[in-house]
Structure 1
């Protein structure tokens, strides 16, 4: 088994596409023998049998059962063939996750490695959530030992805005994750972490920084920013923090994380266009003690 440290979680893993994950996790490799937080295995099969156990619920193409050993098994059907395309078996606390993938699953866009990448990302997110953290859909940067996450629906421009910061501030800014940064509370304060699961791009870094602000982006002809009130902050965070459809209790724990976030870090709404002026507006709001002019 190989080891990695991702967002402070000690992970032992064995992946089917070892070469791909060796490359993607190269910055997170760990030789620490500390207590394991997550055991993660992925295997590929010619055929996958339906898992046995007590039926829990059916959600679209996913069937969830509880096995006699207490593990929860989630099987997902391939919509084209009706065969089982994947089975995810996990302990109730998500400390051990085994992912079985059907070798012959076909998709016009996604490869088998893409599915492995997605399912392992879900496994990491579930364990992190169980331990009191969260994964926020956003593009995260670190600057002046401070973390900022720009969040929005796909296609709105969060990555574009993060890249403007990198273009302007150059080496002062590190893009920590372009899609799924992790958040954990340490000693009562929120910290942002890079993860190797960064969506369609490889833009991620093994960086930890105190989380200074979360900025939700809306396209506009003007550039202005306002701090959201508690109600709007909860709504915005709830829409972009990933919650599992298959575990209601874990979803409820996410609300606890949101409550901690809104009491420890400011949440903003940014109306902006694609310009350096938008960077200036955000910078001057967040780092009010030192304004810039672009």
Structure 2
């Protein structure tokens, strides 16, 4: 008896057929099952499943010419074509062949030959490949991303494997009220007449999260690990490039590549996209949320949030700008780790509210009772004054552009800093070689 099931993902319906029961291999697709009446005459594809008997002489299930292969975390897909023009995909888990998918040129019909090893893996990967390829001309894209919902909108987190998409999604769930995980690995984005929508799917990587929901797209965030938290808007070519690396498709097929390009170009122009360099911490989640939810944080808000976290006992990595802490902290390239101050000493680098008007990250050069005097290591003259209550945090480490931490309390470094304070009258001359080199670099850039 032929068993047939219909499934609807992001409004697209497909059918799966077999002479045996396969429900146990598609439990993840249960929320997406639909009646045959939903399909009408608009099935995007039909997949027929067969069990292949093992060949004694190792003959492959299908003879084909290999075109390319993709490998990721112990999984491998080998792609090719037969002499008749059919597309072929072999799915491996470790060294085991789990199944061979043979598709018609337009991907409207396909046959899956299952091996004895890991048939569920082969079936789900076949459906995912077929779905991505058959919908590529329909303004639909299968993403490699995590998606979280908030206030009726969906937010996508993109990035290479290991970047921290799932981690950042969990940070939203933990620190931002009202969030829900929709999919952890393969959501679907579809361009409709009424806007851009994001959908859950039957494929969610290692996290079982198979929710049949549709949400207007709120924003897309490309993640990158960094020793600090910083977010900015992506537009134009940068936005397009972020999408290309995150959308599944057969890009060596010209017609399909053109269709994907149209979808990616439309998304790059219409979707709100951002680039987040971040740590895996609460501050990263909140800065990201404020940006993509159109609540662009001011410098004052960012500072207030950093101070709040420090006062609650959380260490915060804070970027330093400008040259006022040279040569010990290079603004624009290095950051400092801020912690709750326990006892402020002369020589400490602190975050303080000075002159009742602004925040600085400068060194303490004098303490008299409750009065604190500060000066930037890179400043040639001028000091700032505040009280101990105005010292909001103490810098414990400097974080380089490569993420390497250097302790501020390292004895040779404290001695060097003390000597540098004594050398204040001659700093101008000590900085002269640096200024000359910088001037020469600027001159050569203009040549």
- TM bucket (normalised to shorter chain) is 0.7 to 0.9
Which residue of the other structure, out of 28, 31, 46, is the alignment partner of 2:32?
28
Distance 2:5 2:259 in 1: 29
Which has the larger Rg?
2
Please say if residues 143 and 248 of structure 2, whose CA atoms lie closer than 8 Å, have aligned partners that are also in contact.
Answer: yes
1:149 aligns with 2:156: yes
Measured against aligned partners, the alpha-carbon deviations of 1:153-178 in whole angstroms (never above 9, x if no partner) come to: 111111011111112235x2221110
Question: Is 1:191 aligned to 2:205, yes or no?
Answer: no
- Partner Cα separation in structure 2 for residue 139 and residue 247 of structure 1: 27
Question: SS of the counterpart of 1:269?
Answer: strand
Residues 1:178 and 2:191 aligned together: no
Q: Cα distance, 1:256 vs. partner?
A: 0.9
Taking structure 1 as the reference length, the TM-score comes to 0.84
1:58 and 1:282 mapped to 2: Cα distance? 40
Per-residue CA deviation, residues 181-218 of structure 1 (Å, 9 max, x unaligned), is: 11111106211111011112212311101112110001
Residue 73 of structure 1, CA deviation: 3.7
List aligned pairs for 1:200-219, cutoff 5 A. 200-219=206-225
State the match for 2:124 in structure 1.
Answer: 117
Give the aligned partner of residue 408 of structure 2: none
When the two structures are aligned, how many residues end up with a matched partner?
281
Query: Which residue matches 2:45?
Result: 38
The alignment's C-alpha RMSD in Å is: 3.0
CA distance in 2, matches of 1:268, 1:287: 11
Specify which structure has the bigger relative contact order, considering alpha-carbon pairs within 8 angstroms and separated by 6 or more residues: 1
Equivalent residue runs for 1:10-25 within 5 Å: 10-14=13-17, 18-25=22-29
1:98 aligns with 2:103: no
Instruction: Answer whether contact 1:66 1:73 (CA < 8 A) is retained.
Output: no
- Equivalent residue in structure 1 for 2:279, among 265, 268, 273: 273
Cα distance in 1, alignment partners of residues 263 and 9 from structure 2: 19
CA contact (8 A) 1:50 1:84 kept: no
> How far, CA to CA, are the matches of 1:100 and 1:5 in structure 2?
23
Cα distance between partner residues in 2 of 1:156 and 1:49: 37
What is the DSSP-based 3-state SS (H/G/I as helix, E as strand, rest coil) of the residue aligned with 1:37? strand
**Which residue of the partner structure matches residue 2 of structure 1?**
5
8 Å contact kept, 2:104–2:110: yes
Aligned partner (choices 288, 291, 294) of residue 294 of structure 2: 288
> TM-score w.r.t. structure 2 length?
0.57
Separation in 1 of the partners of 2:284 and 2:122?
36
Q: Which runs of 5+ in 2 are unaligned?
A: 70-77, 310-447
CA contact (8 A) 2:101 2:111 kept: yes
Task: Describe how 1:228-267 pairs up with structure 2 within 5 A.
Answer: 228-244=234-250, 247-267=253-273
**Distance in 2 between the 1:275 and 1:78 partners?**
36
Asked if the contact 1:93–1:130 (Cα under 8 Å) also holds between the matched residues in 2, the reply is: no
Structure-2 separation of matches of 1:287 and 1:214: 11
Instruction: Find the residue that maps to 2:210 and give its secondary structure.
Output: coil
Counterpart CA distance in 1 for 2:93 and 2:45 is 30
Q: Deviations over 1:241-273 (max 9, x none)?
A: 112266342123111111010111021100111
Equivalent position SS for 1:235: helix
Sort the Cα spacing of 1:102 and 1:143 in 2 relative to 1 into closer, same or farther, 3 A. Answer: same
**CA, structure 1 residues 58+160, in 2 after alignment: closer, same or farther (shift >3 Å)?**
closer
1:72 maps to 2:86 = yes
Bigger drift between 156-165 and 188-197 goes to: 188-197
Give unpaired runs (5+ residues) of structure 1.
Answer: 106-110
Q: Residues 91 and 31 from structure 1, CA distance in 2 versus in 1: closer, same or farther, beyond 3 angstroms?
A: same
For 1:188 and 1:72, how far apart are their aligned partners in 2? 36
Q: CA deviation at 1:24?
A: 0.7
Q: Matches of 1:167 and 1:80 in 2, distance apart?
A: 34
8 Å Cα contact 2:99-2:122 kept in structure 1: no
